[in-house]
Amino acid sequence: MVMMLKGKAESLEHDPNRPIRPDTLQPTVIRLRYYVRVPFRELPLTRRNIFHRDGNQCQYCGVTSSEKLSIDHVIPRSRGGLDSWENVTTACLSCNIEKGNRTPKEAGMPLKRVPRKPSSSLSFEATRQINLGKHAEWSKYVFS
């Protein structure tokens, strides 16, 4: 709101259910009138972020979140595998147990998608909010 009052931003979308004053609605999408550099922030490696990256789907059998999902290390930690975006993936409990202490190749369980680090933390967070059913109006402005 301060940026809008100072003329640095303009409102594109409003929340009709949350008026700030009788004549002003709370903005949900704003556009800056000039570029503002956003400092780089590393995207944290968390369960929630890994599940979102993989679409809440087992990367071995493709089952969705209807079954309990877990985190699997592609190269097991006991074999020197690290906790990194490129080495962790979403797996259902049955696939995780079946794979055990083996690599996907040794277990004969190819990955549906090779794990990688998401490219942008801002678009990653925005798509997560949209997928949660919050801020659906953002979808017009976010590239996924």
Instruction: Tell me the per-residue pLDDT of 102-115, one tens digit each, with 9 for 90 and over.
Output: 999 999 999 999 99
Instruction: Tell me the per-residue pLDDT of 52-67, one tens digit each, with 9 for 90 and over.
Output: 889 889 999 998 866 6
The model's pTM is: 0.67
Which letter does DSSP use for residue 39 in this model? P
Phi, psi of 78 (to 5 degrees): -65, -15
Is the Cβ–Cβ distance between 88 and 74 less than 8 Å?
Answer: yes
Domains of the chain plus CATH, in order, are 1-37 (no CATH), 41-144 (1.10.30)
Q: How far is CA 121 from CA 53, 54, 71, 118, in A?
A: 11, 15, 20, 7
